[in-house]
Structures are given as structure tokens and as C-alpha cells.
Chain A
Amino acid sequence: MTEQQTPERKEEEQRLQEVIAQRTQRSAGLWRRETAMALIPLVLVIGYAIIYPFESVYTTLREIPGIGDFFPTPGSAVIIIVFTMMAIGLNVVVGYAGLLDLGYVAFYAAGAYMAGWLASQHFEQVTFHFWSPGINPELPGIHINLWIVLALAGIFTAIVGIVIGLPTLRLRGDYLAIVTLGFGEIVPQFVRNGDNFKGFDLTSGSFGITPIDAPGFGDGLGSASAGLLPVNFQQSFDAEQLYYWSALGLLLFTVFCCWRLRDSRLGRAWIAIREDETAAAAMGIPLMRTKTWSYAIGAFFGGIAGAYYASFKSGAFPSDFYFNISIFLLCMVILGGMGSIWGVVIAGTILGWLNIEGLGVIGNYLNDWIFEPTTGSRIEVPKYQFGIYGIIIVTMMLFRPTGLIPERRRKLEMEEGVHDEPAMGERAVNR
């Protein structure tokens, strides 16, 4: 049935179009202004982060009376950045796609061992060097430049993610969480026991692989750039700063990728799945493929971070990869706000700092001012770090489930109750 095109109707349509055009224009202008406003603090923060490791900067900051203790050393800052990076990777899985992954530590382990295999003396049966920075070419083992190893670790871990994901991703919600938890427990045991596969030593067992090569640009680039690109981080006198800056670079790269991914076709597909899996499938989104991609990409960043951290610590040890790390990362994502990149960056920095230095510092203050005067004994606060994370998790979930800096869309979902599964629903059979 066709509608009659009366003159009034035409007029109305025209008016409507004008209004739409006006609004688009206005919102475009608004957007530009908003972006500019948002860029200023961003530039300030990044600028601060870049100059932070200069000795004159951080020592000055650390000497401020009262709050000086709250500034970490550049070495601790590297660890904070690496864990924040992993949290952003986990955010892709948990925040964007809404898949609870309790075994993210497996990807961290995979990345770290990749660095151990490809940039150390572990495989002493062979001697293979490829652009190895400032390392004696006679040294046995595989020595590939760490920048390449990082990429390889990312790819390898993404493949691990796909392998774990393919059989498990068709499970829903809590079952998926349990399966990932299982993998997160199996992988550390595998590396712990992996020192004797029919006589072949894959992982050096509980000793771990150490030392691992430092990153660097090698003699060629080093002398060509007149020392601007260091030959080898570990051999330069400002190793910590170098590690810090490249970690910061990796973090910015991760943030950028995840930010762009969120608005991509894939990112929108993830969000659609998170909101309503059935509806997303009905709209033609391939569930399995989209979910697997979220696993692979989340794992990719975890792998890079793991490999980089292994190089920084110069070792990959099975005792590093325990379940609590997964929960620690999850806590960062929850505190920051699931799906919110800036939230996760901020929460990652706060919790990372608490983990490395903060709890000790705060504990000292509490002991000096409260516990010792009142009870006469001191409490070892860092010992209870996971209890504290547990309290954070529960408090956030009960009172502010969208996190410190809620992502706009997630907030709507929470408030309007758009979710695919009723929380503690009736038994599925009777639905």
C-alpha cells in the first residue's frame, strides 16, 4: 500500500531533514571540541609518564615529604605497566566480549616461555643467532632479537588462545569461566613438569629458564644511530629507563589497538554478543569466530606482555604463574570498569602499584599511626593482598558494578538490564 504524498507531508519531511542536518552539524562540532578537551589531559599524562624515569624527576618526586613514598621506582613502574597491559588484553575478553576468563595467566606463561625458548641459552643443542643484540655469536642456544620474539610470542599465544577457545567457547558463562580456570591450572603444571619429555628438556622444570636476553637494537643500528638506539638494554647503564620507555611504548600500542578495535566491526560484534548472544546470532554474527577472535586478541597482548616481562626479569619461572595472577588481573578490569580502556589503565596502575610497593607503603603508615599505638603489634599488610583484592571485587560488584570509569554502553546494559542470561535464573529446562 503506497502512502499519498500530500504537500503537507512533503513539507514535514523537508523540515525533518533540516533538523537532522542541523543536529549532525552541531554534534560534529561538539565532538571536535570534546576530543580536543579530552586530548589535553591525555597529552599531559603521557608527557608525565615519559619524563617520569629521568633520575632528576623521580628522585625529586620520591623525596617530597609525606607523599614521596607513593611514587614507584622506574623498575617497579615497568612491572606496573606490564600488568596493566595484560589487564587491557583481558579486558578484550571480559569487557568487550563478556566472556569470563579465569585462566589468563596461561597466556602470560606462554609468552614468557616463548621468550625463554627463543632468547636464551636454554636450547644449548643448537646455536642460532638472529640480530641478537650485543651477544657473543658463539653463545649456544637460540638468540633472536627480543623485538621479534615479542611479535612471535604474541602470535604463538594467540594460537594457544585459539586452541583453548575452539573447544570451550561454545559453553556459556560460568562453565566457560571454569574451563578457562582449568587451563590456567594445567599450563603452570605443564611447564613445571616439562623438563623431561622422553629425555627432552622443554621448560627446565621448577628451575625455570634463566637468564633471558635483554632487548636491544644490535651493533649495526646502535652505532648508526650514534647510541640513540641502545645496542643492548641490560648492558647500558640506564637499563631501567630503557625498559620503562619501551614498556610504555608497548602499553600505548596496546591501548591504541584496543581502542580502535572497540569501534571496529569486530568490536561491535563482541559487544552485540555480550549484550545478547541469541539476538547477535540472529543478526548474522558468527558466534564462534567472533568469540575466538576475542580470545586470540586478548591472548596476543598477554603473550607480548609475558615475553617482555620475562626479558625484564631475565627469567621465566613456573612459580610465577599461579591462579591468583588471573584474579589480580580480573580485579583490575572490574575496578576500572569492564570494557572501559581508560578505567582499566587507571585501575591497572593503582592495583599494580599496590601490588609492587603500595601495600607495603600503606601498611607502614597504618602500622606507624594506627596498629602499633593501639595494639602494640605490626601487621604485615602485603600478606593479605588477595583478601584486599577480594574485598575490592565484592564491593565493586555490589555497589558499582560498572567500575570506576564506566564505559557508557556497559552502564546502560547494567542499568536497563540488557543481558543475555538472568543472573541466578530459573533452571534452564523450564525456561
Chain B
Amino acid sequence: MPSGRPSLVGLLGLVFLLLLIVWLGVNFIKDPQEFINVFFVGLTRGAVYALIALGYTLVYGILQLINFAHGDVFALSGLVASSVLLSVFGVTTDSGAGLVVVAIAVALLVAMVLASTLHVTIEFVGYRRLRHAPRLAALITAIGMSFIVQNIALAIYDVDYQSIPRLIPNSSVLTIGEVALQWNKLFVLALTIPVLLALTWMVRETRHGKAMRATSQDRDASAMMGIDVNRTISFTFALAGSLAGAAGLLFLLYFTTMRYDTGFELGLIAFTAAVLGGIGNLTGAVLGGILIGLIQEFNEGLAWATPGGDWTRSIVFGILIAILVFRPSGLLGEQTPEGE
């Protein structure tokens, strides 16, 4: 966006932002306690979105490909994690803390390994052959992959919702007046932040991260510098997959129920989050995820002048469209030619 002269688009955005602030302000004044509670719910939901969005952003960053299958891999690994919890360990609400911890750890491992394997396989079978094909061919393949993974989940788990008992209690950690933060929310938040930090550290500091950044900037040049491009890309997919697996388990623990097509809508929302924050940007994905989560919960939870849950999807996609049209680089992303 050119600096200096204010553009109509910028002005429109400002007006919209102002209205948003007024709306939030009025809601806060009317019922501050409810507002803060809803804020926490939104923050938690946003953290889950952020974890999924990170996977989209990692893959997009290296291949400029929207990996549609990501959301469905997330759902499938979450479902498998539910099987591990229920069938292998047979956890119930009365299970001892030790068993629960072990069960969750094993489920996490299984989900992450499964999702990574799936992602690497999808890349190897599908996307790798299409690196020199027209861009849309790869995107269309990704959509096809998404449907295939979704139907694998359908074949295993049918159309029923898989539910697990609430393993992370939703009793309050701390309460101030009527404002409360529950254990399960804290758990989700406490998991997302270290993941983001670890990822950022890995991409910025390690050799693998360096290889990833180099590959994303110029594949041919990195190959000449001795980087194994194929391995780097596979590694990125494995990383994105393990995030999807972790997000799958986290989603299951927090919302306690999911089914084969949970990943489709969540994937779209998470993708929106990644775009909102600036696709290809790790911090952006987390920021975008949290913003979308907040917007969704504010829309569904606040009392004054809210469109309500019926419109959530429209609002999320409206944001997606607005961001892509007015600021395709997202909040934190670099300017791309798409914006011109």
C-alpha cells in the first residue's frame, strides 16, 4: 500500500476498524465480566486455530501451495487419537491422573506420527510430481487429496461424532469476581505458545530452518548450494503434519467431540487465519488464529448488536475476502504482487 496519500481502501478499512472498536467498547461497558469470559473462550479457540494455521503457513511458505488436505489430516489424526484414548487406554472421567497423562502422551505421539506420515506421503505421491505443472493443477490436486483423506476418516469412523470424556477439567484455575479462567483453557494456551516459540526458533536458528528459508526463496539456487531440496520440502511437510496431529488431539481434548468432516470447516477457518496474519509468516498465523477465534466467540457470546452464531461462517469468510481484496499480504506479511 502506498504510504502518504490516504487511499479510499485504507479509509474504508479505518472506518471499519473504528466501528469494530466501538462495538467491542460498548459490549465491554455493558457487561465487563461476561466480556472477559468470552475473551478467554475466544483466546482458547484462537489458539487451536493458530496451531492449524501454522501448518498451512509452513507449507505455503515453502511451496506457495495451499495444502487443502491439511484440515482433513488434522481431523483424521484427532479421530485416531480418540481411538487411542478410548480403545487402547479406556480412559474415563474417573481415571487416575497418571493414566490420563500417559494416555494423552501416547495419543499425542500417535497423532503426530500419523499426521506427519500422511503429509509426507501426500507430498510424495501428489505434489512432488506437479512442481513444474501449472499452479492450479497443484491446487486442484490438493482439493482432491483433501476429499480422499476425509473419506478415509469416513470409512473408519462413519458419520457419527466421536466423543471422549473431559480429561482436562473445566474447573477454574483462578477466579476474580465472576471472571474465571479454566484449566482446559489454560492447558490449550500453555501448549500453543511454546510450540510457536519452538517453531520460530527452529526456522530462525537451526540448519534445517535455514535450509527451509533458502528453499522457499530460491529452489534452484539452494540446490546449487548443496541443500537437498526434496528432503527439505518433505521435512517441512512432516513438521506441518506433526502440528496438525497435535492440533487434532488438542481440539479433541478441548471440545471433546469431532467427526470426519470437522477438518473441512476448521481447515478453512485456519486458512483464513493464516491469510489474515500474512501467509508464510509464523507469528502472523498465530495472531490471525487468535483474532479469528476472538471474532467468532465475540460474535456468538456477546449480547449487544451481534449477528449471532448463524452468521459466523459468513463473517469469517467475509474477513477472508476483505483481507484478500484489500490487503493480500495480511497483517504481518510482506507485500506480494497479488496486491497490485
Contact = CB atoms under 8 A, between A and B. Distances in A.
Interface of A: 98, 100, 102, 167-168, 171-175, 177-179, 181-183, 185-186, 189-190, 192-193, 323, 327, 330, 334, 383-384, 386-394, 397-398, 401, 413-414, 417, 419, 421-430
Main secondary structure of the interface of B (DSSP, over half): helix
Among B268, B271, B324, which residue has the most Cβ atoms of chain A within 10 A? B324
B141 interface: yes
23 contacts: A100-B136, A168-B325, A172-B338, A174-B136, A177-B66, A178-B275, A179-B325, A186-B318, A189-B310, A189-B314, A193-B310, A327-B147, A386-B147, A387-B150, A390-B143, A390-B146, A390-B151, A397-B130, A397-B144, A398-B126, A417-B132, A423-B135, A428-B337
Given A424-B131, A427-B64, A174 B139 contact: yes
Interface stretch (B30-38, B91-99, B196-204, B214-222): B214-222
B314 A186 contact: yes
A386 B127 CA distance: 20
A210 B227 CA distance: 62
Given A168-B325, A182-B321, A430-B217, A423 B130 contact: yes
B148 interface: yes
Contacts of A397: 126, 130, 133, 137, 140-141, 144
Contacts of A172: 337-338
A98 B135 CA distance: 11
Interface in B134-186: 134-141, 143-148, 150-152, 154-155
Among B143, B145, B216, which residue has the most Cβ atoms of chain A within 10 A? B143
Nearest to B336: A428
B39 to A, nearest CB: 25
Interface residues of B, number: 54
Given A173-B136, A178-B324, A386-B151, A427 B217 contact: yes
Contact of A387 (B131, B148, B311, B313): B148
Nearest to A326: B143
Given A185-B313, A186-B313, A398-B130, A171 B338 contact: yes
A389 B147 contact: yes
Contacts of B129: 398
B20 to A, nearest CB: 19
Contacts of A173: 135-136, 139
Given A100-B136, A100-B139, A384 B155 contact: yes
Main secondary structure of the interface of A (DSSP, over half): helix
Given A178-B275, A398-B129, A427-B217, A190 B325 contact: no
B338 A391 contact: no
Among A185, A383, A413, which residue has the most Cβ atoms of chain B within 10 A? A185
Contacts of A186: 313-314, 317-318
A171 B328 CA distance: 9
A393 B130 contact: no
Contacts of B143: 102, 327, 330, 390, 393
A426 B213 CA distance: 11
A397 B155 CA distance: 24
Contacts of A181: 268, 317
A190 B145 contact: no
